[in-house]
Amino acid sequence: MDSTVNTWREGRAGRIRLNRPKALNALDFEMVTRIKAAVEEFGADPQVHLLLIDAPERGFCAGGDVRGIRAAGLAGDVKTIEEFFSTEYAMNQALADCRKPVVSLINGVCMGGGIGLSVHGSHRIATEKAMFAMPETAIGLFPDVGMSFFLPRMPGALGLYVGLTGARLTGADAVHGGFATHFVPEEKLGALEAALLADGVAVIPAFTAPLPAFSLAAHRPVIDKAFGATSVPEILAILAADGAGFAQSALALLREHSPLSIYWSFEIIRQGANRDLAQALAAELALVRQITRHPEFHEGVRAVLIDKDRAPKWSPPSLEQVDPAAIAQLFA
Ligand code: QUE
């Protein structure tokens, strides 16, 4: 029992526990392979009544192992990249297809691939220590793991807002937005876990706490107006015209992140509104093949996760300089 993912049967549950705490449980090829296999095995095992995914130490899951992906991209190792993403996305689909309840206990950082690991399951339990974000535009990537399907289905234009800005949501806000389904205080997680093993998902409501108000409620009108626009320049213009602090900080996040990435993320999320999950994952796989070879992604991962100087040199450096034809070409 000392692998980067441990799986076992306990009580009514098939258990999947992330165990790569030094990397905040960032998912590598071995992990997505094992999780996908476990989801399929537990799904077919008549003794398993629910799947329970958790991470006992720091955080839930920081995302994908993008350092490893960058190294493969720089080495021209197309096969490693293809195997990782096709297996990760197949794992996302397997979670969505599982006919048993899939419960994730999220008591810390849950970003990118961590959202993909939880959101396609039926029950996502968030505590007051949970933090949710889709931060891919900060590293020159885009919201993948089925999020081009999920984000356009969030209330109003909230999905575009979180997907383009990388804004962080608390556990309570994640329930309001739909990333999570239940709000349970950390102090009750141990008792919830024991009750789930004994009795299954019917116990969950007994452990929830009153949901704090949605901290973005007051900002929904400007979020929906700006991020509901039909182009990136329109989003920028609507935010710029709004003098309030919230619109200005959203604009600042967009200006800080990769301009190219904002454009290709906008496009794939827009397209995802008209796709089912399988179609969205297939489109993401086609795009991620190109992006993982793109200098913008290599620079973003360098600045945020390798050198950690947080001073990426984006090319082009501003949203105004992005050539729409270059974006269209990526989707051709
Ligand atoms: C965007 C991302 C990721 C990110 C930061 C971003 C991501 C990811 C990690 C991460 C964080 C801490 C770790 C680690 C990875 O950060 O996908 O191994 O220890 O995995 O802005 O997409």
pLDDT tens per residue, range 289-321 = 999 999 999 999 999 999 999 899 999 999 999
Active site residue 113: yes
**Nearest by Cα to 280 from 147, 156, 153, 83:** 147
276 sits in the region (left: phi over 0; alpha: psi -120 to 50; else beta) called beta
SS3 assignment, position 115: helix
Q: Is 66 in the pocket of ligand 1 (CB under 6 A)?
A: yes
276 is written with which tokens? 């089912």
What is the distance in A from the centroid of ligand 1 to the CA of 138? Answer: 10
In the chain, at which residue ranges do the beta strands (DSSP E only) sit?
A: 5-10, 13-18, 50-54, 102-106, 109-111, 123-126, 131-133, 169-170, 182-183
Q: Which of 73, 112, 113, 163 is catalytic?
A: 113
136 lines ligand 1 (CB under 6 A): yes
CA distance 187 to 189: 6
Please provide the average confidence, as pLDDT, over all residues in the chain.
Answer: 97
Q: How far is the CA of 262 from the centre of ligand 1 (A)?
A: 18
Residue 305: CB within 6 Å of ligand 1? yes
For residue 257, give the DSSP letter: S
Rounded to the nearest angstrom, the gap between the alpha carbon of residue 18 and the centroid of all alpha carbons in its chain is 16
DSSP-derived 3-state class of residue 60: coil
Q: 267-288: per-residue pLDDT in tens?
A: 999 999 999 999 999 999 999 9
Active site residue 144: yes
**Contact between residue 72 and residue 81 where contact means Cβ atoms under 8 Å apart:** yes
> Quick one: pLDDT at residue 1?
57
**What is the model's pLDDT at position 32?**
98
Cis preceding-peptide flag for 316 (omega within 30 of 0): yes
Domains of the chain: 1-332 (3.90.226.10)
Q: Assess whether 108 carries a catalytic annotation.
A: no
In the predicted structure, residue 11 carries a pLDDT above the cut 70: yes
Residue 66's pLDDT band, with cuts at 50, 70 and 90, is very high
Tens-place pLDDT, residues 163-219: 999 999 999 999 999 999 999 999 999 999 999 999 999 999 999 999 999 999 999
Ligand 1 mutation target, pool 66, 69, 297, 314, most atoms within 8 A of CB: 66
| H helix count then E strand count, the chain | 15, 9
* SS3 letters across 72-91: HHHCCCHHHHHHHHHHHHHH
Beta carbon of 131 within 6 Å of any ligand 1 atom: no
Q: Measure the CA–CA gap between 193 and 208, rounded to whole angstroms.
A: 13
What pTM was computed for the model? 0.97
| Annotation says 64 is catalytic | yes
